[in-house]
Structure 1
Amino acid sequence: MTQQTRAIAVFDIDGVVRDVSASYRRAIADTVEYFTAGAYRPTQADIDRLKSEGIWNNDWEASQELVYRHFETRGKGRSQLDLDYPTLVAYFQSLYQGTDPQNWTGYICDETLLVQPTYLEQLSAAGIPWGFFSGATRDEAKYVLERLGVVSPALIAMEDAPGKPDPTGLLAVVHQLEVQHQLPATTPVLYAGDTVADMYTVIKAAALQPQRQWIGVGILPPHVQAISDRCQNYTETLKSAGAAIVFGNVEELTPAQIQALLPV
């Protein structure tokens, strides 16, 4: 790839690099079920509907919101609930990470990787710098990236920036890559993510840095791909939120495809 067509590729992690349908999303469902005393367990479709609002990228906050909405449908206001957020977070993490902070045994251990190390190697060989912007905690993001053999990547995680769709974290990782690879501030950026919040993040970044091209790349998470109607609806949702193109797997975003998405 020539200097004229060079671009920066940034990736979300959850639903893009790893399948979280049986980990983060399972933890959401379990947490909501626990804090509603077994009265409500959200389905994957329920969680998708919440996340389609574009502001519930944080799964702890999403869990809390689903609990609140459950009780609201039964005429109980939020101020009436004795729902302690740190307690909810601790319960969620005990499921996702496990109860031993030094030796994780929770749902995170069952995640399937959606990317092979050779994919990132292909991007590097084509002269495409890459990094990650994720709403996961730094330790959780590093855990999965180390499984890919990625050590000390350009990474902005939960602790490093406000949650999506705030673009601060995306701009930060792009800046890291620009400095590392000595790229101009006009270098196009592609951000691959699986949620509406990811696409909104790209739009907000473009508003702050209009001098470069920003391209939102939608990725269909595995849990929506088994049913064609659901897959189509999810695709349309991502496109409506700003995705220029939607793939079933991020490895379809090849160097050739990246070049095709860039201006002539």
Structure 2
Amino acid sequence: MTAQASARSLVVFDIDGVVRDVSGSYRRAIADTVEYFTNAAYRPTPLDIDRLKSEGVWNNDWEASQELIYRYCESQGQQRDQKKLDYNTIVAFFQARYRGPDPNNFTGYICDEPLLLSSEYLQQLTQAGIAWGFFSGATRGSANYILEKRLGLQSPVLIAMEDAPGKPDPTGLFATVDKLENGQSNTAVIYVGDTVADMYTVGKARELQPHRTWVGVGVLPPHVQETAARSQAYSEMLQKAGAAVVLSNVQELNPAKIAELL
């Protein structure tokens, strides 16, 4: 299944928190990593991780883990340069938890991620003449695992961590749109994400390519929907960062909703 070439509009999806629930995988791996490198003195809560990500620059979970370790050390009166952290060691520990020890045979937390959309939903977009693809800060291996192995998509358009600078830099979003447009130009673009960085990416895309319609759609990740107060606070945060609308599940962004937004 591929997106139509003659699309009137494009939808680009983030993956983590939009296509898959990562609260028990990526976020669990962040907490494990921080706990390990602080010698079990500090395990960040989901709220701690959300607070960091609300700053809009910690889309990379390896860097987020490192930053939380540093901030804990600072809270204990230690300077950053006193804490000897090796970034590659942090990455290796994180990956062993998230992906598993063998990079060619995933056995870690990634195997248990609940899906948040179906291939039938994407087919519905295709039938409505809406092209779609993915731009994510996840590694290509991790993204392909969920898109191809779990969702059964055949070579979907994907720009992953290795292909572009991290969000909120819109380079990867532009690259995804270029692949989807297939020679057309100025197609309206909706980018669907669950973080402040995702919405900032849309804002920066609009600044650099003002001739095109850019719409940011926020999605509430499952872990914030446990209470109405968390949902409301998170929704307001995404709207403040530029989301035109915030949905509780990505599949609410159906062809009728897309027409309404554009």
Smaller-chain TM-score bracket: over 0.9
For the pair 1:150 / 2:192, whether they are aligned, the reply is no
Displacement of 1:24: 0.1
Residues 81-96 of structure 1: pairs in structure 2 closer than 5 A: 81-96=83-98
Displacement of 1:103: 1.3
Q: Which residue of 2 aligns with 1:100?
A: 102
Moved segments of 4+, more than 6 Å:
none
Identity %: 68
Q: Normalization by structure 1: what TM-score?
A: 0.96
For the pair 1:210 / 2:213, whether they are aligned, the reply is no
Displacement of 1:15: 0.2
- d(CA) in 1 for partners of 2:76 and 2:243? 37
Q: Which residue of 1 aligns with 2:4?
A: none
Displacement of 1:102: 2.1
Q: Which residue of 2 aligns with 1:125?
A: 127
- d(CA) in 1 for partners of 2:204 and 2:242? 11
Q: Which residue of 2 aligns with 1:197?
A: 197
Report Cα offsets for 1:129-186 as digits up to 9, x if no partner: 000000000010000001111121110000000000000000000011111xx42x21
In structure 1, the residue corresponding to 2:18 is in which secondary structure?
Answer: coil
Q: Give, as a single letter, the amino acid of the residue that structure 2 aligns with 1:74.
A: Q
Displacement of 1:6: 2.1
Report Cα offsets for 1:89-135 as digits up to 9, x if no partner: 00000000111222111000010000011100000000000000000
Q: Which runs of 5+ in 1 are unaligned?
A: none
In structure 2, the residue corresponding to 1:31 is in which secondary structure?
Answer: helix
- d(CA) in 1 for partners of 2:100 and 2:158? 24
Q: Normalization by structure 2: what TM-score?
A: 0.96
For the pair 1:160 / 2:163, whether they are aligned, the reply is yes
CA RMSD of aligned residues (A): 1.3
Pick from 39, 42, 45: which aligns with 1:40? 42
Q: Which residue of 1 aligns with 2:54?
A: 52
Q: Which residue of 2 aligns with 1:230?
A: 230
Q: Which residue of 1 aligns with 2:3?
A: none
In structure 1, the residue corresponding to 2:95 is in which secondary structure?
Answer: helix
Q: Which residue of 2 aligns with 1:257?
A: 257
- d(CA) in 2 for partners of 1:89 and 1:235? 30
Q: Which residue of 2 aligns with 1:242?
A: 242
State the aligned residue count.
Answer: 257
Q: Which residue of 1 aligns with 2:219?
A: 219
Pick from 173, 177, 181: which aligns with 1:174? 177
Displacement of 1:245: 0.2
- d(CA) in 1 for partners of 2:174 and 2:105? 33
